Amino acid sequence: MTRVLIAGYQHETNTFAPSLADWAAFTRGDSFPAFVRGAAMQEQLRGINIPVAGFMAAARRHGWTLLPSCWAGAIPSSFVTRDAFERIAGAICDDVRAALADAAGLDAIYLDLHGAAVAEHVDDTEGELLARLRALVGPGTPIVASLDLHANVTRRMLRVADALVAYRTYPHIDMADTGERAAELLARRFKAGEREPMHSLRLPFLIPLNAQSTWTEPAKSVYDELTALEREHATTLSFCMGFPASDFDECAPMVWGHGPAAQRAVQQLYARASVADQWLLECLEAREAVTQALRLAEGASMPVLIADTQDNPGAGGDSNTTGMLRALLAQGAGKRFPGQVALGLMFDAAAARAAHQAGIGAELELALGSAVPTFTGQASDAPLRGRFKVIALSDGKCTLTGPMMTGLTVRLGPSACLEIDGVRIAVVSGKKQLLDRELLRMVGVHTEQMRIVVVKSSNHFRADFQPHASHVLIAKAAGPMAADPADLPWRKLPAATRRRP
């Protein structure tokens, strides 16, 4: 029997963000499934739209025996702590040692990785983990990994792994499919008995997150080209647009491929992707975004969406800034459309707890949200003090039904819908990017009844929200995640890469 050890380590590190990813962040299960080790890993992750679930399904079809090690994922934030990384890497390495000591042996390793995790003591944590595993198993045992589309792929990662493959959609609706592609690369590696030729090219600039959506141009056409080139050259291609807020020397987009014709295919895809000015994107200031949304909402049959991109908890924000809320109130959005303007998710455990203590229908004085450090060196807007009405309450537990992470149950703790001046705010006790409408429904906010919805997200909201919206606007309110990576105070990234496309 072919025996494959499987493990996962998912974190996207914004080195400019205010909050660290400690061990507790990997065990809470508020954004990803909570840390799990051993046999329970397969049962807990089966059927969820994440890469390891897709790999497990493909492995069953191949008849492989899976050796589950552990799976660990935490919401994007600042550095992974030394303690957290060493616990995760240590667990995986210990399980590999145990598998090697078993008489049945170990035939391969599959890793479900993000590819943009930076620890307090290691810039390239995925490369470090791969290198530790390679030292244990030697050069002949295949190691294959799947990566997030936002991976900052390093030369070390490509050198140490036998094969890497990345998502092709943003929002990431093909995560399980990517795990299946990793399984097919491993099957090819088994059949060939040696590594396939690999070629890679790195783009010389950063791509803003809001320009990366595969629902819009130019990314949509670039990935269409990737698919066509794969067919033409019988090569498995990947294009990681990178996470443009990880301050280390290899933070940048990467094109690579595996197969006999990899070099030619990669060169052609690189030529298409590396046209710099196609990635330029304009974002609106908070006040202008609300002005446009109010105008558009007057004649729209579906809500206008505003992405509060600089407080995206999927990119290192804490989902607690008040800039967009203040812009809505300043222009009377809730008074023009009472009860039909919503914002979420606002991470404020104290406010949620106070709402639960007060009960539905109660009114209470609160200071909602937080002032947090931002990349500009200035704090974001102050907490919003005012009188809020409790509209709905929830335990914060819901199962996602949208195209991303379908089937995942999240637990965000005591949650509430609060209203001030006609604006409804979904307040939660755990951090989670607003990427699924169920996260609003759990506190009684139904987007089909709204005229304007502000989402603390950059692009992931598009998969479940955009088909039910009339317009999408991208707004810049003060927050930890720069819409334009050229605005960040880089220290380690080479100056040539920091420039705008």
Angle at 428 (CA atoms; ends 427, 430), nearest 5 degrees: 150
Return the structure tokens found at 286: 């908070």
**Assigned CATH topology for domain 3-279:** Rossmann fold (3.40.50)
Please check the confidence at residue 245 and state whether its pLDDT lies above 90.
yes
Instruction: Output b/e per residue, 103-125; b: 16+ Cβ within 10 A.
Output: eeebbbbbbbbbbbbbbeebbbb
Mean pLDDT of 188-205: 97
C-beta of residue 11 within 8 angstroms of C-beta of residue 21: yes
Separation of alpha carbons 452 and 173, rounded Å? 25
Separation of alpha carbons 200 and 203, rounded Å? 10
Please check the confidence at residue 269 and state whether its pLDDT lies above 80.
yes
Instruction: Output b/e per residue, 272-308; b: 16+ Cβ within 10 A.
Output: bbbeeebbebebbebbebbebbbebbeeeebbbbbbb
Return the structure tokens found at 253: 């987009």
Please check the confidence at residue 499 and state whether its pLDDT lies above 80.
no
Mean pLDDT of 307-316: 96
pLDDT band at residue 31, thresholds of 50, 70 and 90? confident
Q: Which amino acid is present at 213?
A: S
Q: What torsion, rounded to 10 degrees, do the Cα atoms 175, 179, 184, 190 define?
A: 160
Listed residue (55, 244, 234, 217) closest to 149, CA to CA: 244
Backbone φ/ψ region at 120: left (φ over 0), alpha (ψ -120 to 50), beta: alpha
Where does 261-356 show beta strands of DSSP type E?
Answer: 284-285, 304-308, 341-347
Give the residue ranges of DSSP H helices in 29-80.
Answer: 40-45, 51-62
Max Cα distance, the chain (Å): 71
Identify the pLDDT of residue 501.
Answer: 80
Mean pLDDT of 198-209: 97
Separation of alpha carbons 7 and 465, rounded Å? 32
Identify the pLDDT of residue 26.
Answer: 97
Rounded (to 5) percent helix, strand, coil in the chain: 35, 25, 40
pLDDT band at residue 451, thresholds of 50, 70 and 90? very high
Estimate the crossing angle of helix 175-192 against helix 51-62, to 10 degrees: 40
Mean pLDDT of 329-358: 98
Tell me the per-residue pLDDT of 283-301, one tens digit each, with 9 for 90 and over: 999 999 999 999 999 999 9
Mean pLDDT of 339-366: 98
Identify the pLDDT of residue 189.
Answer: 97
Identify the pLDDT of residue 282.
Answer: 84
Identify the pLDDT of residue 32.
Answer: 85
Tell me the per-residue pLDDT of 96-117, one tens digit each, with 9 for 90 and over: 999 999 999 999 999 999 999 9
Mean pLDDT of 139-160: 98
Please check the confidence at residue 254 and state whether its pLDDT lies above 90.
yes
Q: How far is CA 424 from the centre of its chain?
A: 26
pLDDT band at residue 359, thresholds of 50, 70 and 90? very high
- In the chain, where are the structural domains located? 3-279, 284-483
pTM of the model: 0.94
Mean pLDDT of 467-492: 95
pLDDT band at residue 432, thresholds of 50, 70 and 90? very high
Q: What is the strand order of the sheet 254-258 is part of?
A: 198-202, 254-258, 236-240
pLDDT band at residue 281, thresholds of 50, 70 and 90? confident
C-beta of residue 82 within 8 angstroms of C-beta of residue 23: no
Please check the confidence at residue 30 and state whether its pLDDT lies above 80.
no
Listed residue (471, 478, 481, 427) closest to 306, CA to CA: 471
Identify the pLDDT of residue 498.
Answer: 86
| Average pLDDT, rounded, for the chain | 96
C-beta of residue 423 within 8 angstroms of C-beta of residue 325: yes
Identify the pLDDT of residue 414.
Answer: 98
Listed residue (324, 310, 255, 318) closest to 485, CA to CA: 310
